[in-house]
Amino acid sequence: MSNSATAARRSAIYLLDQILGEGRLLSECLAAGALDRLPPEDRARAQRLALETLRGLERADRLLDNHLNRTPALTVHNALRLGAVELCNGEAAHGVVNSMVEIIGRSRKHGRLKGLMNAVLRKVAAEGPEAWPKMRVPRLPEWLRDPLVTAWGPEAVAGMEQAQFAGAPLDLTVKPGCDAPAGEALSTGSVRLDNAGQVSALPGYATGDWWVQDAAAALPVQILAPKAGETVLDICAAPGGKTLQLAVAGAKVTALDISEARIERVRENLARTGLSAQVVAGDALDHEGQYDAILLDAPCSATGTIRRHPDLPFAKDGSAFGDLIDLQSRMLAHAWTLLKPGGRLVYCTCSLLPDEGEVQIEEALPQYSDMSVDRTALNIPGIEKDWITEEGGLRLRPDYWLDRGGMDGFYIACLNKSA
């Protein structure tokens, strides 16, 4: 049994405890150094195991319930869940079972349950691999599923769940004149890679020929259509994919983000790609200036990113989203004051909830006599007509392009300011 594999599994269980027990996002755990002591390969394995377990949580629980008289303590339950997912996805039973028994056996609090661990996982190893593919696609937690069904219908939500369960391929935005690693050229201009492996090892990464950016996330800048020499404000810029798009178009970009730590990632990405922008750490509600164009990627629930972040539906419960919706409205109002007459502003959120997208624009339009929606801005390659909403925005969902790996959920609207 590999000590390395056991260390990765132990760390994955810790991540699951934090996400399912403490309501922390994976990104928060990583930023706090949860995996810093592991070598790079084991860090990657721990993350992968945790995410795969979250994607298959419903199936794992159904299998385990057949062999448990009562729900065990969270850490033990998560070890069983992780083991079940590994076993049902083809990992050798000997290695998985022994590793999990060792992890629980060494626990002062739960060591007495190593026999339970051994017995249950051996039963799962015997029956799980055959039962697993016959089970339904895991459903989203009810707090998120119910409003999504109300908004988009059960068939669409089933497609979103299928996309989340499958996970997301890797999408790249490529600098003009540069080559990307071999992949599928998407109709919107992104390049999609399946099973890409370590990103930093791909050809063109070190030389800054491209950056990672979901195909849906690349569309707001295409819709804004920045021109060389224009002054453009990128609000909530981190980690910087949209800033890079603006800079490569020749715009004079100000990249603004409230987090100093996150804005450092923008600096790093600009340096790697050889692009330039003015980078500012600050509160968008306090920012001053006048700009030809503005990109407002407003803070949101991030529910559109569930393909890549299956931890989000389990770490959150929707209770904080009301404050986010209010913040979006205030940020749009302030951003409008920073836009020059005759300018344009793209409002977008990586959310599947209409209150964070369509409703924001519907409510804003009557408040501003100099605001109008520019439907013609959506006339770009790859946009399908049924993605365009009644008020003139663009609604993207994970169940679109489902046979090709889906896309992030986004809402995007281009707003023109009267001259």
User: Rounded mean pLDDT of the chain?
Assistant: 96
pTM of the model: 0.94
* 119-138 pLDDT tens trace: 999 999 999 999 999 999 99
Is residue 236 among the annotated active site residues?
no
- State what percent of residues in the chain have pLDDT above 90: 96
* Structure confidence at residue 1 (pLDDT): 46
Is pLDDT above 90 for 198? no
- Compute and round to an integer the Cα radius of gyration of the chain: 23
Confirm if 282 and 266 have CB atoms less than 8 A apart: no
Domains of the chain: 3-134 (1.10.940.10), 215-417 (3.40.50.150)
Residues 416 and 369: their CA atoms lie apart, in Å, by 11
Distances 290 to 148, 181, 227, 250, 329 between C-alpha atoms, Å: 38, 39, 16, 18, 19
Q: Which residues contact 321 (CB under 8 A, 6 or more apart)?
A: 301, 353, 355, 356
Q: Which one is catalytic: 88, 236, 348, 350?
A: 350
- In tens, the pLDDT along 30-88 reads 999 999 999 999 999 999 999 999 999 999 999 999 999 999 999 999 999 999 999 99
Measure the N-to-C terminal CA separation of the chain; round to a whole number of Å: 70
Tokens, residue 280: 């500012």
